[in-house]
Amino acid sequence: MTDRHASRRRFLLQSGSVLGAGVASWALPSCAAPAILTAESARPRLDYGIQFGDVGERQATIWARSDRPSWMWVEIGDDIHWRRPLRLRGPLANAASDFTARLDVPLLPGPAQRQVRVAFEDARSGAFSAWSEGRLRAAPVDWRRPRPVRFVWGGDVAGQGWGINPEFGGMRIFESMRQRDPDFFLHSGDTIYADGPISAEQAAEDGRIWRNLVAEGVHKVAETLDEYRGRYRYNLRDANLRRFAAQVPQLWQWDDHEVVNNWSPSKDLSADPRYTVKDIDVLVRRARQAFLEYSPQRQPRGARQASIERVVRYGPLLDVFMLDMRSYRGPNTANLQLEPGADTAFLGRRQLRELARALKQSRATWKVVAADMPLGLQVPDGVDAQGRARWEAVANGEPGLPRGRELEFAELLRAIRGVANVVWLTADVHYCAAHYYDPDQASFQDFDPFWEFVAGPLNAGGFGPNALDATFGPRVVFQKAPPAPNASPLSGYQFFGEVNIDPHTRALTVDLRDIEGTSVFSRTLQPA
């Protein structure tokens, strides 16, 4: 370590300078190391491990949960021996946040890999928990000498009643993704299934029985704030997921199942006997709070509410444009409106405008649009009062010029014409696919061709394939779906996606991988 870096470290320890934490943070005095002789019952516990999120060149967000009111402590070391670690005190974890806490920490110049550990100090007794350890990789710093980038993506966790099955090895796909040693994980939505009860047993293929680990509250749909929180706690009971989260930073978006299936502002629960709370707005508020408490994403300072939509910059090769396709949408309808309006909103005017501007201003070689729903696949949501098909996603089943929600995306695609190397990644439909959008085959042609890759489910029922809508000219290049709907993880139809960017050629390679990590499809895209 140079004298300059040592001086910087001493300054941080003395001043407690932390990036964007939004809470007071101070250096832990050297005499206040965690006690090791305290009775176990008196020590806080970190039953759910640690998570990393929104990792940049110089900072990262670290998340953990205690089991009682307690202060968060974080240590960051340059080696496994913990010589002279940077030690910082984070916020107080209390009942208001379900005892979750996060700290935005500085990543000083040094090795790309950092050792990180978290402990909690009981707010009353001062007793310390054991350390929970992880490994953190910073984003690339040197724009003159880019390094390889690898990340994985997928969605749909613990859906359709397929929860944590210890006999199956738990959520095995997270271990397969961890073994790929990615820089980060893009969670494309349906991070939980708040509307999907999990029972002790469930019938699977060929007469087999799927046996779930169960927990308090998961037997019914989530309605209260604690029931929504409980679904995130349930997923983190999986050892594969905890091990993955302690090594791989995560970027989360949400979709529908974080609240209730196919929700929009017009969602009507009056005839659903599972729900005693019928007001969708109440459920959305509770679900959003739980999502933001358990997501490891950076939280803004002050009173400004965290936005799920944002741009994550990952060095010279990659910008990730995270979309929120839920918070600003209009109702699910037949989606055939000829003019834009409140009923055709999907991204919403502000998000649409900011996305187009950010894509045009991006300096990165590749611009990945992280969409929690596919653009050209038909995703039905029953029928409306006139007996017409009602639609959950963008496509409306009509191959002609853009109508309904397609109007927003026609505007977006037209606005970013000339922006090179835009790739769309998505999940939601519970199978994997590669789609090529070709203006020469489209009804609406004022856009540049692009690829859309679909991954998932990670640990949920397998479905599909869905029909395509020809408005934007998509073509199926590859797809793999189970032969029957709601295939269990036992059937093997679980998929994640992987992206590799070569620093020399700047080519981007996409692989779609199965539950064991085996590639079932690969495509290399050359930069324009």
| Structure confidence at residue 252 (pLDDT) | 97
| Structure confidence at residue 141 (pLDDT) | 78
- The strand ranges marked E within 247-322 are 250-252, 310-313, 318-322
| Structure confidence at residue 304 (pLDDT) | 64
> What is the amino acid identity at position 94?
N
- The strand ranges marked E within 193-352 are 201-203, 209-211, 250-252, 310-313, 318-322
SS (H, E, C) 406-470: HHHHHHHHHHCCCCCCEEEEECCCCCEEEEEECHHHCCCCCCCCEEEEECCCCECCECCCCCECH
| Structure confidence at residue 37 (pLDDT) | 46
Return the half-sphere exposure (C-beta side, CA atoms, 13 A cut-off) of residue 29.
2
Three-state DSSP class for residue 118: strand
Q: In this structure, are residues 264 and 197 in contact, taking their beta carbons and an 8 Å threshold?
A: no
In the chain the domains, ranked by start, together with CATH numbers, are 3-137 (2.60.40.380), 149-525 (3.60.21.70)
> What is the amino acid identity at position 186?
L
Distance CA 523, CA 248 (A): 24
User: Which is nearest to 92 in space by CA: 24, 27, 39, 9?
Assistant: 24
SS (H, E, C) 24-78: CCCCCCHHHCCCCCCCHHHCCCCCCCEEEECCCCCEEEEEEECCCCEEEEEEEEC
Q: In this structure, are residues 170 and 164 in contact, taking their beta carbons and an 8 Å threshold?
A: yes
| Structure confidence at residue 380 (pLDDT) | 95
The Cα-based distances of 280 to 132, 223, 287, 309, 423 in angstroms read 38, 10, 10, 21, 33
Bridge-based pairing of strands 86-93 and 366-370 is: unpaired
Distance CA 428, CA 74 (A): 35
> What is the amino acid identity at position 340?
P
Q: Which residue has the tokens 């959003």?
A: 288
Mean pLDDT by 10 residues, the chain (528 residues): 40 36 35 50 94 87 97 90 89 97 83 88 95 91 87 98 98 98 97 97 96 96 98 98 97 97 94 97 97 92 78 94 97 96 96 98 97 96 93 96 98 98 98 98 97 98 97 98 97 98 97 98 97
* N- to C-terminal Cα separation, the chain: 40
Distance CA 52, CA 87 (A): 17
| Structure confidence at residue 150 (pLDDT) | 97
Please state the pTM of the whole predicted model.
0.92
Tokens standing for 480? Answer: 């793999």
Q: In this structure, are residues 345 and 329 in contact, taking their beta carbons and an 8 Å threshold?
A: yes
Taken as a whole, the chain contains a residue count of: 528
Q: Could you report the per-residue pLDDT of 32-91, keeping only the tens digit for each?
A: 444 444 567 789 999 999 999 988 777 889 999 999 999 999 999 887 788 888 899 999
- The strand ranges marked E within 180-287 are 184-187, 201-203, 209-211, 250-252
| Structure confidence at residue 26 (pLDDT) | 34
Q: Which pairs count as long-range contacts for 32-35, CB under 8 Å and 24+ apart, including other chains?
A: 34/73, 34/119, 34/121, 34/128, 34/129, 34/130, 34/131, 35/126, 35/127, 35/128
Instruction: Give Cβ neighbours of residue 474 (< 8 Å, ≥ 6 apart).
Output: 375, 376, 435, 436, 437, 438, 452, 468
Count of C-beta atoms within a 10 Å radius of residue 432 = 29
Q: Which residue has the tokens 């293929």?
A: 205
Q: In this structure, are residues 162 and 172 in contact, taking their beta carbons and an 8 Å threshold?
A: no
Tokens standing for 499? Answer: 């992206």
Count of C-beta atoms within a 10 Å radius of residue 307 = 13
